[in-house]
Amino acid sequence: MVESVSIEKIADSTGTPVYIYSTEAFLTPLKEFQRGLASVDHLICFAVKANSNINVLKLLGDAGAGMDLVSGGELHRVGLAKIPADRVVFSGVGKSPGEMAAAMKMQRRGIFCFNVESTAEIETLNAVAESLNQCAPVALRFNPDVNPKTHPYISTGLKKNKFGMDRKEILEIVRNLKNYRFIEIKGLSIHIGSQLLSLDPLDDAFQKLGQLIDELNTKLPRPLTHVDLGGGLGITYSKGEKSPPIRKYCELVLKHFGPNAQQRLPFKILIEPGRILSGNSGILVTEVLYRKERPTKDFLIVDAAMNDLLRPSLYGSFHDIVPVKKLNGRPKKTDIAGPVCETGDCFAHDRAMTTQLKSGDLLAILSAGAYGFTMSSNYNSRPRPPEVLVSNGKFTVIRERENYDDLTRGEAG
């Protein structure tokens, strides 16, 4: 059941595979962040890359969230979701001039801030702003060289990573501020990685960031007005993992940047949670196509594949997988694999699954609400699955299943 709605009922209506999201599961952690930061001026910007469905963005926006985006396409989605421009921040290392201009023209007054990642980018943004005769609000992204202790593919705060600037680069921009007449430096931003299961790396990064804020406030013509602390707080995917409580994270934020933090000037605090809001808000439901029996290990071939949920193939990530209908029977070592012609198309290796699972049974792949559909593709010319949102005992299809005509749309022939 998802919010008292039968998973089987949804699957009968939409077919499988299908992504199913819970409204309550999205809003519960958002409200916890809002309570934890209630004592300070703050803006919670959902990381759109985690789950970009327009209906999800509108759901979170209506509950008071802003948006953190990294592309022109995400900017377009945020606009369709009618998120106020003054609640939007634009991150990412490769913003194009066209994307910058679109963000500055969003709802005429432009977005809240650009998180700028390099000197070359600030030069480009200054030229775009000049062409529009506007001033671009900027937060300089600081790379504190802190090990986030996460998967190397989602580590973003080490010196060897492509993200952000070190202290020397940031000070150089401040020294040359006269060259950027259409730039207003309003803040500093930081993001050290995703799926963080310890607050210790954030504690170290926040300390370094606070020191740089204090230093810049002695050099800038006007003090900084906000700090963007990024996201990255992890969720529990497996029994061996334990994610930090949101309450503890908020306490850490207030320790470094709250009203009593080293007598710093009061400013707005931004955070960019993505996975922590959406990860455990969704499941991917798939049907068993075939059981291939082997002496030591069986294979369950399901109708979902790596093109629908890439994380296990890309990162070797663990997702708990459970039968939708309770089954008895002895457990046997089992691989759960999709139909794509890649050995890597596997959701689970050597998982203990009941031998009663057979063709037609449904499995739920848990914690699939973040970086699930957004990373999906049409590999092997497979149409992408539908997305369903459950709320108040009812479900709504918020994205239709693709069909074969969708696969070939735009191709000459």
Cα-flanking dihedrals φ and ψ of residue 287, to 5°?
-105, 140
> For the purposes of burial, counting CB atoms within 10 Å of the CB of 293, is it exposed (0-12), middle (13-18) or buried (19 or more)?
exposed
> For the purposes of burial, counting CB atoms within 10 Å of the CB of 178, is it exposed (0-12), middle (13-18) or buried (19 or more)?
exposed
Catalytic, 341? Answer yes
Contact 93, 70 (CB under 8 A): no
Contact 234, 164 (CB under 8 A): no
CA distance linking residue 362 with residue 402, whole number of Å:
21
CA distance linking residue 89 with residue 46, whole number of Å:
10
Cα atoms found within 13 Å of the Cα of residue 384, Cβ hemisphere only: 16
Strand partners, 45: 66
> For the purposes of burial, counting CB atoms within 10 Å of the CB of 240, is it exposed (0-12), middle (13-18) or buried (19 or more)?
exposed
Helices (H) and strands (E) in the chain, counts: 12, 17
Longest dimension (CA), the chain: 73
Reading the block at residue 108, the tokens are 């005429």
Spatial CA neighbour of 46 closest among 20, 72, 21, 81: 81
Contact 187, 227 (CB under 8 A): yes
Question: Residues 45, 113, 135, 341: which is the catalytic one?
Answer: 341
CA angle (57 as vertex; 122, 403 as ends), nearest 5? 105
Active-site positions? 341
